[in-house]
Amino acid sequence: MGKVYLVGAGPGDPELLSLKAFRLLKEADVILVDELVLGVRDMIPPGKRVIDVGKSGKEGGKRTSQAEINRLMVELARKYECVVRLKGGDPFIFGRGGEEAEFLREHGVEFEVVPGISAATAVPAFFGIPLTHREYASSLTILTGHGKEEGGAGEERESVNWSAVAKLRGTIVILMGVGTLERNVRRLLEAGMPAETPVAILEKGFTPEARAIVGTLGDIVEKARKNSVEPPAVVVIGDVVRLREKLL
Ligand SMILES: C[S@@+](CC[C@H](N)C(=O)[O-])C[C@H]1O[C@@H](n2cnc3c(N)ncnc32)[C@H](O)[C@@H]1O
């Protein structure tokens, strides 16, 4: 039985791959990659067996279910010494790495997690936004924009406590938050956050199409609509957004 490495590929810039991740790409017998791994794909040595399990969620995009990915990892570990599961950013931050690790443990497959640089922190840095600053924010909350889950009796309940988050008065970073922007902005306004709170939507970081849409809680939904914002994007909410003008 081989070993599965759950490897974080970082936010897309190949130079932000860790040395360990780079070594494992060279040693791997087979690599399962996600679609979000952008320029990093070029770091995979030619001739390696690569299985694309991209789950971009884009319309018409190829999707491999999580169950199928789990099954594949176990099957490949039975055949090969070194199986690399390469995931965007950090495997344990909204990357379902935890679920994959659980599945491997349940099936008796040895695994190791190789952390990666998360888009949650790297994308704001790319756009000149520090997430904490002694004068602007002393806390950081990272959320998923898809923060809903089934409650009892089939009703939906929020998995994110928006009013608690709003009260922290620190920086809020939302991943996967483009489609649900309007709803989430409304939640924060209802929770009492001022409409003047700065917001930045940071689209396609580390790519030539990188673009920042900057506004406030009061006008960001309209600005996002006007500019046809598309995923992937990181949404940053809080006073730290003001630093962008100074630092970029
Ligand atoms: C499924 S989550 C995976 C996060 C990943 N595990 C990490 O730590 O970066 C994907 C989300 O990450 C963000 N993201 C990833 N790459 C990005 C990029 N290059 N530019 C902007 N946002 C990005 C977007 O919010 C996207 O919806």
| Residue at token pair 């679920």 | 99
Q: Is 43 a catalytic residue?
A: no
Q: Is 26 a catalytic residue?
A: no
The least confident of 36-40, 98-102, 128-132 is: 36-40
Average pLDDT over residues 68-90: 96
Residue nearest to atom 5 of ligand 1 (CA): 89
Question: Which residue type sits at 45?
Answer: P
Residue 138 pLDDT exceeds 90: yes
What angle separates helix 66-79 from helix 97-106, to the nearest 10 degrees?
50
Q: Where are the domains of the chain?
A: 3-117, 120-247
Helix (H) or strand (E) segment spanning residue 190: helix 181-190
- Which of 94, 131, 206 to mutate for ligand 1's pocket (most ligand atoms within 8 Å of CB)? 94
Catalytic residue of the set 26, 48, 52, 58: 58
For residue 156, what pLDDT is reported? 61
Superfamily for the 3-117 domain: Tetrapyrrole methylase, N-terminal domain (3.40.1010.10)
Rounded Cα distance between 39 and 33, Å, is 12
Q: Is 87 a catalytic residue?
A: no
Burial class, 114, CB count within 10 angstroms (exposed 0-12 / middle 13-18 / buried 19+): buried
Kindly indicate the confidence band of residue 57, based on its pLDDT and cuts at 50, 70 and 90. very low
Average pLDDT over residues 53-82: 83
Residue 212 half-sphere exposure, CB side, CA atoms within 13 Å?
21
Instruction: Quote the ligand 1 centre to 150 CA distance (angstroms).
Output: 24
Tell me the pLDDT tens digit for each residue of 103-124.
Answer: 999 999 999 999 999 999 999 9
Q: Where are the beta strands (DSSP E) in 34-178?
A: 49-52, 82-87, 110-114, 140-144, 148-150, 156-158, 171-175
Residue nearest to atom 6 of ligand 1 (CA): 95
As a CATH number, domain 120-247 is: 3.30.950.10
The model's pTM? 0.93
